[in-house]
Copies of this chain bind each other. A is one copy, B any other.
Amino acid sequence: MTPRPTVRIVLADDERMVRSALRAILSAEPDLEVVGEAATGAEAVSVVRERRPDVVLMDVRMPEIDGIRATEQILATLSDPPRIVVVTTFENDSYVYDALRAGAAGFLLKRAEADALVQAVRLVSHTDTLLFPAAVRSLAAEHARAYPAPPPWVARLTCRESEVLRLMAQGLTNAEIARRMEVGPATVKSHVAAVLAKTGTRDRTQAVIAAYEAGFMNAR
């Protein structure tokens, strides 16, 4: 493998034990260097600001400012910010989503093996091309729920019927839909009736529900 430049690391965790354990693991590698430690979120922000590391291992639960907030602040205030890896104990923490949204580059479990930790730090230090599942799997499942396979009836709706359903699902009355579509109210009634028939619903409310459940409203 090509010779690697030294990766500068800051550890942020409120437990001294955890910090020294991480430091011990990382310092054993010649190409990794722990250049700073922080015990609180606020401290993490200032330490990172002055040490300018390549990677930050950031605990989620910390006094004063939690790891998520600290991540946000670091990414918001520093140009050329470090890669921040959020460290936590349980992968099902809802923190995962917040961490990702906050801009964390990675997500690490405390029970990770030393070997994995080292490789993860190296990898995250200079790339952003890989992602690992477990917690992400649930996100994907959510995505599937938000954009489900369109039910058969979606395809059978005619152009106008789709328009009508979309407007129904915006809470418009038939009269309003008629004005919006520049047709007569009777026409709208016809289309609504067709929509109800094709969706297998009995009133506009159920039709709107079907539209939402079908992801009909998410597709812009």
Contact indicator B129/A133 (Cβ below 8 Å): no
A143 touches B205 (CB 8 A): no
- The answer, yes or no, to whether A135 is at the interface (CB within 8 Å) is yes
Tallying the copies of this chain within the complex gives: 2
Chain A, residues 121-150, CB within 8 Å of chain B (1/0): the string is 011101111111111110111111110000
Is there a chain B Cβ closer than 8 Å to A18's Cβ?
Answer: no
Tell yes or no: A183 within 8 A of B by CB: no
Nearest chain B CB to A209's CB is how many angstroms away? Answer: 5
B142–A131 touching, CB < 8 Å: no
Asked, given contacts A126-B115, A205-B171, whether A146 binds B136 with beta carbons under 8 Å apart, the answer is no
A56 in the interface (beta carbon within 8 A): no
16 chain-A/chain-B pairs, Cβ below 8 angstroms:
A2-B115, A85-B130, A97-B140, A100-B131, A103-B133, A106-B133, A107-B129, A107-B131, A111-B129, A116-B129, A119-B127, A136-B139, A142-B143, A171-B209, A173-B203, A204-B205
CB atoms of B201 and A137 under 8 A apart: no
- Known contacts being A146-B146, A205-B205, A208-B209, is A128 close to B133, with CB within 8 Å? yes
Contacts of A129 in B (CB 8 A): 91, 107-109, 111-112, 116, 120, 132, 134
